[in-house]
Structure 1
Amino acid sequence: MRITLLQGDITAQAVDAVVNAANSSLMGGGGVDGAVHRRGGPSILEECRRLRASRYGRGLPTGQAVATTAGDLPARWVIHTVGPVFSPEEDRSDLLASCHRESLRVADELGAATVAFPAVSTGVFGWPLDGAARIAVGAVRAAATRVREVRFVLFTPDAYTAFEQALTAG
């Protein structure tokens, strides 16, 4: 698998699947989640509502992933994953790694060859960029997947630098 980095807008990526750093409600929010729902249009929210009414009545659990249509995005699917909120008192690294593994598992189920990830949990969930980048890159590298390209699409120069350092470190 090839891992690439790009600074930019994840909602503009023409890939098979875009990973959404969702909240457990699946109803949209701020950051990446809000951008995906705004640019993708109402069909994403409609599918999320159906998921909430059926399989995920209490919301999507942290570390898990589920797919919907990509609506008006240039991708085929959106894979929603809920990252953990950072805690200095409790190591939640496993949950953050799980977001990446589960997203790739869902991508395999869909037959996706190209997947774009944001920096999951680094926005309002407060995860330090360096640690999140190390965990994300490590989880993707270790994943048994048929995905041919994983693209980390980082919104800020700081995020790009953190992921670049994680990618070259190991």
Structure 2
Amino acid sequence: MDITLVLGDLTEQDADAIVNAANSSLLGGGGVDGAIHRRGGPEILEACRALRASHYGKGLATGQAVATTAGRLKARWVIHTVGPVYSRDEDRSALLASCYRESLKVADSLGAATVAFPAISTGIFGWHMDDAARIAWHAVRQADTQVAEVRFVLFEPDAYALWVRAGRAPTTEG
């Protein structure tokens, strides 16, 4: 699998699937989630409402992933995943890593060859960018997936620089 970094707007990625850092309601929100819903149009919200009415009545659990149409986006699908809120008192790293692994499993089930990820949990959920980058790189590198290309799409130059550095660091986790 090729892993690339892009400085830009996730909603403009021409990929089979883009990953939404969603909230558990699946009904839109701020940050990446809001941008995807705004740019993708009402088709995404309609698909999310259908998911809530069927299998996800209580919402999507943290660390899990599910796909919908991408509506008006260039991508074919949006894979929604709920990242954990950062906590100083509890290590939630496994949940953050699960977001990446579960999103790739969903991508495999769709036959997606290219998947573009945001920096999950680094916005309002408060995860430190450098730690989130380390976890994401490790999770993707260790994933058993048929996806040919993963893109980490960072909106800010400082975030991009941290992800470049994390990608170059040797992996010390088992």
Residue of structure 1 equivalent to 2:169: 169
Residue of structure 1 equivalent to 2:64: 64
- What CA deviation, in whole Å up to 9, does each residue of 1:13-36 have, x standing for no partner? 000000000000000000000000
Identity of paired residues, percent? 74
Task: Report how far residue 156 of structure 1 moved.
Answer: 0.7
Residue of structure 2 equivalent to 1:112: 112
Task: Report how far residue 162 of structure 1 moved.
Answer: 1.3
Residue of structure 1 equivalent to 2:73: 73
Counterpart amino acid of residue 147 in structure 2: V
Counterparts of 1:1-170 in structure 2, within 5 Å, are 1-170=1-170
Question: When the two structures are superposed, what TM-score results if normalisation uses the length of structure 1?
Answer: 0.99
Moved over 4 A (4+): none
SS at match of 2:67: strand
- What CA deviation, in whole Å up to 9, does each residue of 1:44-80 have, x standing for no partner? 0000000001100010000000000000000000000
Task: Report how far residue 101 of structure 1 moved.
Answer: 0.1
Whole-Å separation in 2 of the counterparts to 1:158 and 1:142: 26
Counterpart amino acid of residue 139 in structure 2: A
Task: Report how far residue 157 of structure 1 moved.
Answer: 1.1
Counterpart amino acid of residue 169 in structure 2: A
Whole-Å separation in 1 of the counterparts to 2:57 and 2:162: 36
Counterpart amino acid of residue 36 in structure 1: I
Task: Report how far residue 161 of structure 1 moved.
Answer: 1.1
SS at match of 1:147: coil
SS at match of 1:67: strand
Counterpart amino acid of residue 18 in structure 2: V
Counterpart amino acid of residue 58 in structure 1: K
SS at match of 1:159: helix
Aligned length: 170
Question: When the two structures are superposed, what TM-score results if normalisation uses the length of structure 2?
Answer: 0.97
Whole-Å separation in 2 of the counterparts to 1:39 and 1:164: 27
Whole-Å separation in 1 of the counterparts to 2:131 and 2:53: 35
CA RMSD of aligned residues (A): 0.4
Counterpart amino acid of residue 32 in structure 2: V
Q: Gaps (5+ residues) in structure 2?
A: none
